[in-house]
Structure 1
Amino acid sequence: MKQNILTGVLLAVIALLVALPWFAPYFYIFVFTEILILGLFAVSFNLIFGFTGMLSFGHAAYFGMGAYTTAMLLLHLDWPLLYTLVAAMALSGLLALVIGFFCVRLSEVYFAMLTLAFGMMVFTIAHSWRDVTNGSDGIAGFRISEFGLGLDLVMGNPAVYYHVTLAIVVIAALVLYVISRSSFGLILKAIRQNPERVAFCGLNVRSYRLASFVIAGIFAGLAGALMAPFLRVASPELMHWSLSAEPVLMSILGGTGYFMGPFVGAALFVLLETWITSYTGAWMLFLGIVLALMVMFFRKGVLGTFLDWWMNKND
């Protein structure tokens, strides 16, 4: 009964998101487009953190790779958006495969530090290789001529781009949910809890970690590919190590043990940032205080704490 209610609430939220452009000001269309993109970014990160138990500080590298791929293809080849998204996922996955090949050999803090090192390398290349990436100025001036598949969509319209982003994020989230609920996902959870026992069962822990790392990189690249047309620019800041901290915070804020937790965390993070910056220039101070209190008093994340209370209510 409670599970059915929660499913109904999720469907109601999706229906509300679909209807958002019909009643909300354009400002909130932009805000919720950002929430959807960062939510997908955080969910992709949580596949390696919440499910596999690997803390990465270089996840923004794949996000930025996706953004740069889309920006370059739109600027130089004028591809339909759908094709650039596929290319961005492929190149981000390839980058994750190369980096992950070295990183998954280590664990715990050594893994985290190595991902940070690779992330800083990727950022430095994007910042310094001016002939290709245009350096700190980034790549701008591109336009989206069409979506692809013969669909006549005005991609320059913020409401249309919001609906396209919503559809893509929902499909991507469903794919990640199926992965997390599959036997592969169960093995990832087992690796997080006890990798030695999984290895004793005859499974190659390193291979599963690498597969998780690559899948997370692919969907982080998709999120970055959606962000570039949204911002109208792909810059090195999208690869900076500080951006890699955002999905960490969003996942913890929403609840790493729950699939929808990172989405809730992304919504809280972006909305708090938006509202606080409208009142004060010292927004980082107040945002830090609010987030610290939420993390302290919601030990399983906001969604996790609520679901625990809901499931235990009247039991």
Structure 2
Amino acid sequence: MSVSIDTKPAARLAPASGGQPLAAALIWLVLLFVPFWLPMLGGYTDLATRALIYAIAATGLNLLLGYTGGLSFGHAAYFGLGAYGTGLCLIHVAPSLPLAILAGTVLGGVAGILVGPMVMKRKGIYFAMITIAFGQMFYFLAVRWNALTGGEDGLTGFSRVPLHIGGEAFKLGPERFYYLVLVLFAVVMLAVWQILRSPMGHSFVAVRENTTRLRFLGVAVDRQIWVVFAISTFIVALAGSLNALLTGFASPDNLGWQLSGSFVVICVLGGMRSFWGPFLGAVIFIVAQDYLSSVTQNWMSFIGLIFVLAVLFFPQGLLGFIKGRARS
């Protein structure tokens, strides 16, 4: 006997994925012209690129954290694997930018697929702890495998190579690399939007809301968690790959739990259950980090204070607060 699932209740539980069309169009318009207006405000293009990269990573984590309810403090491991995969590909395989990005994304995503079955049956604090454990395992692997990864000094010796399109080679300076990252950010956002509108995306939200009911209906809940975990790690690994190309460096710190905590802060700050929440959180986090680190060595304390204030006064994130005020 087959059991059909009514996805309409889950659909009502899921937040609007794309937001208001006018607001979304305005966001894309602002992003499109960032290299032109940001320097007028005293910023620089690489800052915007880093914000987009962190927004990609936080969007990947938000699929798991915000929509499925799985708190992971180990997602930086896949970010770091993406960075190392890209660097190693450029050094040892071929000086090809698309191949390097693909290699980093696949390395981090495959690691997520392999780890998924070992974390999908855990719940709550046990889920968070086992993700930290696997993250630290990858961290110490990067530190100890000195011959391949450079150990504690990190992986160097690679840089952005020209992008070959139609027989033409395009050198990727700060502006062109920003637009490459923007295109990939748009692809990720479109993919996530499609996932959240699909029955699979509705089932992710249903996992968060009522696991018992799903099991009663015959849904393989653990498999759903595995799927969303794997998708999430592929997206985060893509962000790590782009970060390696931005900095020309892959460090064991890219795999550490501190960076995982930063991704969680970004999601909570912007709004975990909002489509644009991770993007807003990433912009605030990166801008605050850049400014505060230039005026004080204790900038992390101020970031922590911002996070505490956000949790106390904006429990649904800044975007959730803005939407609530707009409705009232």
TM class, shorter-length: over 0.9
Give the whole-Å Cα distance in 2 for the aligned partners of 1:144 and 1:12: 30
The corresponding residue for 2:29 is 15
The corresponding residue for 1:230 is 246
Contact 2:162 2:172 in 1 (8 A): no
Deviation at 1:295, TM superposition (A): 2.2
Deviation at 1:308, TM superposition (A): 1.7
RMSD: 1.8
The corresponding residue for 2:20 is 6
Moved more, 73-82 or 222-231: 73-82
Contact 1:251 1:265 in 2 (8 A): yes
Give the whole-Å Cα distance in 1 for the aligned partners of 2:259 and 2:293: 18
Give the whole-Å Cα distance in 2 for the aligned partners of 1:155 and 1:75: 18
Closer/same/farther in 2, CA of residues 247 and 151 from structure 1, 3 Å limit: farther
The corresponding residue for 1:158 is 174
Report the secondary structure of 2:60's partner residue. helix
1:183 correspondence with 2:199 = yes
The corresponding residue for 2:13 is none
Contact 1:66 1:222 in 2 (8 A): yes
Give the whole-Å Cα distance in 2 for the aligned partners of 1:13 and 1:136: 39
The corresponding residue for 1:42 is 58
1:303 correspondence with 2:319 = yes
Give, as a single letter, the amino acid of the residue that structure 1 aligns with 2:110: L
Moved more, 189-198 or 6-15: 6-15
Report the secondary structure of 1:233's partner residue. coil
Q: Under a length normalisation based on structure 2, what TM-score does the superposition of the two structures give?
A: 0.90
Closer/same/farther in 2, CA of residues 151 and 168 from structure 1, 3 Å limit: farther
Give, as a single letter, the amino acid of the residue that structure 1 aligns with 2:259: L
Closer/same/farther in 2, CA of residues 160 and 176 from structure 1, 3 Å limit: same
The corresponding residue for 2:256 is 240
1:107 correspondence with 2:114 = no
Contact 2:19 2:275 in 1 (8 A): no
The corresponding residue for 2:140 is 124
Closer/same/farther in 2, CA of residues 177 and 148 from structure 1, 3 Å limit: farther
**Between the two proteins, what is the percent identity of the paired residues?**
34
Give the whole-Å Cα distance in 2 for the aligned partners of 1:103 and 1:151: 45
The corresponding residue for 2:7 is none
Give the whole-Å Cα distance in 2 for the aligned partners of 1:148 and 1:86: 15
Structure 2: runs of 5 or more not aligned: 1-16
Q: Can you list the C-alpha shifts for 1:87-127, whole angstroms capped at 9, x where unaligned?
A: 22222121001111101121111111111101100000001
Contact 1:78 1:145 in 2 (8 A): no
Alignment of 1:200-279 (within 5 A): 200-279=216-295
Structure 1: runs of 5 or more not aligned: none
Give the whole-Å Cα distance in 1 for the aligned partners of 2:125 and 2:258: 17
Deviation at 1:85, TM superposition (A): 1.7
Deviation at 1:11, TM superposition (A): 1.4
Contact 1:75 1:143 in 2 (8 A): no
Aligned match for 1:138, one of 143, 146, 154: 154
Give, as a single letter, the amino acid of the residue that structure 2 aligns with 1:125: L
Report the secondary structure of 1:168's partner residue. helix
1:292 correspondence with 2:308 = yes
Give the whole-Å Cα distance in 1 for the aligned partners of 2:182 and 2:226: 29
The count of corresponding residues between Structure 1 and Structure 2 is 310
The corresponding residue for 2:93 is 77
Q: Under a length normalisation based on structure 1, what TM-score does the superposition of the two structures give?
A: 0.93
Deviation at 1:291, TM superposition (A): 2.6
Give, as a single letter, the amino acid of the residue that structure 2 aligns with 1:53: G
The corresponding residue for 1:89 is 105
Give the whole-Å Cα distance in 2 for the aligned partners of 1:236 and 1:51: 29
Deviation at 1:192, TM superposition (A): 0.5
Deviation at 1:280, TM superposition (A): 2.6
Closer/same/farther in 2, CA of residues 199 and 209 from structure 1, 3 Å limit: same
Moved more, 4-13 or 136-145: 4-13
Report the secondary structure of 2:219's partner residue. coil
Give the whole-Å Cα distance in 2 for the aligned partners of 1:155 and 1:135: 30
Closer/same/farther in 2, CA of residues 282 and 145 from structure 1, 3 Å limit: closer
Report the secondary structure of 1:245's partner residue. helix
Give, as a single letter, the amino acid of the residue that structure 2 aligns with 1:21: P
Give the whole-Å Cα distance in 2 for the aligned partners of 1:309 and 1:279: 33
